[in-house]
Structure 1
């Protein structure tokens, strides 16, 4: 049960956040209350699923399905993975429905229609299977052929697959959910190209995302690898911010590229995944695992393919222990990008204005608890970012 410690701390942190909010911050208070309920329910369901043999029952069903179609251990593992993914999405569905059509709608943020919502859910499920199953098949193939010593080749294969996914995601995956159109505002496009050139970055295209089809919340990002970059602006971001604020936010994004933050993050995650793969491959053959998750060790459906899936789930929980370290470095990179933007713009005033406006537009927490920042925040709280930018002098 040590793997549940991060979830317990997470609920406590959200409780601290809740009590730091004033009575007039109704949206943030409801969001925190809802998040605590969702996290608690999800954790309890996992415990009950574990204690009452949910893994064992799912493995038995996957074994029977595999046997019915004449499949072997690998097919059983695929069925097992699909069952668990389906159950996870089914559990998350009522929470997503309430968050979208009750909380977000009540406070004027939601623009998602039921048709779009369920289309996104179906796309998300199939996309998860489309990405997850090849990774599983790759890991299983190396274990099946090389045993525990195959971890290195599996790790290399996983790294290359992740890199490929990062490259194609902006042009292949994201358009499945949003429509991208060229930015029509020539003045803004010229200013964006100019600030990118100052940062030493070549921008291939500037596009607008139809974010207003789902929410009034705003965002902007720069995607792509190599010398050509793709700037994407939510239409809600363009509509409610001045050109100066938009350029300042993109200067921050260009700071991540100039400081090679994306590359550094990919390298650090790749390095951390190496010992995870090593432990994964050596733990699969252990007789301890089946009994730990409720499998009688003599049953035929405790195959290596099934053990791999269970181990990936367990290691997903264990990775939560390392998450605060990655978040710490992420907040450091965000501060570096803020200062880069201020230097590029000659002042931090426009970025300060944009950050304060975005916090209000997106319903952000004005003063999160330090424990919540430590556990959840990839960006420093807005107040800290504003204070840093106001202290900047060219």
Structure 2
């Protein structure tokens, strides 16, 4: 049976070139990068700093604006917690469509430090009401504010109206943090042109290893940030702990390879998405697409989210697909063990619809082909005819 992997928004397969780089470092460059008194340590330190330079070059940033972390969740935590403890932020403005590493952290900060939290209203299709955002910024103008909004939503694919958000943040002197985890490594991004104060990335979203990522911190903020994890002076004293040398090298190589093929990859994935939309419409005439995921110009090409019609609710639905060789998800992989529909889908969908339909997030990657879509569509057709679902 051919197995088809269509859950690239959760994690991507690691490139062979990246595996080779990492394996070589594991074998031959095992020194502690902080042990610069000898050649083993200096070699490891050199790998990290060369990786930092390459990463910075690929996103058009300065090398010292890149701080390595264990991934996107830690990177988001670092920004949010530092904004309160080191920058004196009194007000956080975000949305209920954010990743749990933002939402849960923000709620924790509210409980611990009594920070004022406001959520931007959500319009139809998961579009943020930027007029409401401006009202909230205006009302809290005297408070130091951090705006935290995802560039590309990891469940419904909606792209943030980035230029307008940046304009409003500048107008009201608010700091701007963007979770760019679905974007960096998949889209060109130029930090020298974008007025982002903080941005986050995770290697396993662009064909690199899990357990490593980075946070971009605009240079004028660096001296203000105290140690997020204490116990050492690594990462400019911001993130203590021996660096993941081979993971960082893998991240750097994966980003480099992605950057060399951005437009070719984007075009391929866009074509896969359009083909998938077309084929799904043939078998589901009343298909409902979640958010803006079917709008090729307003969503990230890699994510398509649908509500699949069934008469009898069955939370083994996704396992049935898996047994038929198709790997998709119901949404955010960080909450996949919870039977309920994700908060993102609940926020934008009528409850009556969710009683009759199951959300499916289909996410494409560079290793997918049109024949993978055909396998998905065939599986959905077969499920449609089974007694439990029809």
TM-score, scaled relative to structure 2:
0.24
Does 1 or 2 have the higher relative contact order (CA < 8 Å, sep 6+)?
A: 2
| Greater percentage in helix | 1
TM-score, scaled relative to structure 1:
0.24
Query: Max radius of gyration: which structure?
Result: 1
